[in-house]
Amino acid sequence: MNRVSPGRFAGKVVVVTGAAQGIGHAVASRVAAEGADTILVDRAELVHEAAAALAAGSSAAGTGTAGGTAVGVTADLESYDGASGAIMEALQLRGRIDVLINNVGGTIWAKPFEHYEPDEISREIQRSLFPTLWACRAVLPHMISRRGGVIVNVASVATRGVNRVPYAAAKGGVKAITAALALEAAPHGIRVVATAPGGTEAPPRKVARGPQPDTDREKAWYQQIVDQTIGSSLLKRYGTLDEQAAPIAFLASDEASYITGSVLAVAGGDLG
């Protein structure tokens, strides 16, 4: 882990969704290293292993947790019952939530819009919009009652990208949630912000989001996404997990106390 700020989240309870793998796990690892009592939420049972390894290994790796802890919670956030259950479990575990980082989502299929089946479109929206919508709704009464809190949503610059129209629609909704909810939440002392990641290098997923490209045509469609992503980036490359986790952690921290309603593109210059 690079350039952590020890103690930045000391005394804070931070819930990170989609935390078993990828950007979510990188964020959870970072905020725990910076002192957060971190609750990793994911529908994959892998989240418990990830949380245990984080709790046991961060000090040994030389980062230090500055008093932070890590625990895993399994929940399917695509339903309100799943999201509210996860928030309730987090409250039972730690008594409060200072920061919610909504990271669940990801493209399931990669193909031109005319090739999507109606049920595939619905599944893309269900995967990449509703977990953020439901989790925000579930945590909001608690944060209002405490007169404070931070919600960081993870959108995407793929709102302007090829072969992912349903995913783009879902992530456009995440941007809209951020802007609209920030207006409502500000009088209660709650900040609502977001990042919009671009293409990000990550290890192979232990739990796949969906089917991998199989035919030559499917592989060509996916390559179009890669080519467009790199072409739209001024830096002409994919980002790293650390490069995505760092701005999310910043926006979640008190250092960003005068930022709300904003969506920060983290895509090498591609604004989406």
Give catalytic residue positions: 167
Residue 127 to residue 173: CA distance in whole angstroms: 12
Cβ neighbours of residue 119 under 8 Å, at least 6 residues apart? none
- Asked if 21 and 207 count as a contact pair (C-beta separation under 8 A), the reply is yes
Question: What residues form DSSP beta bridges with 190?
Answer: 149
- Asked if 105 and 170 count as a contact pair (C-beta separation under 8 A), the reply is yes
- Asked if 194 and 175 count as a contact pair (C-beta separation under 8 A), the reply is yes
Element (H, E) at 167: helix 165-185
- Asked if 65 and 59 count as a contact pair (C-beta separation under 8 A), the reply is yes
- Asked if 88 and 41 count as a contact pair (C-beta separation under 8 A), the reply is no
Q: What are the structure tokens assigned to 9, written together?
A: 């989240």
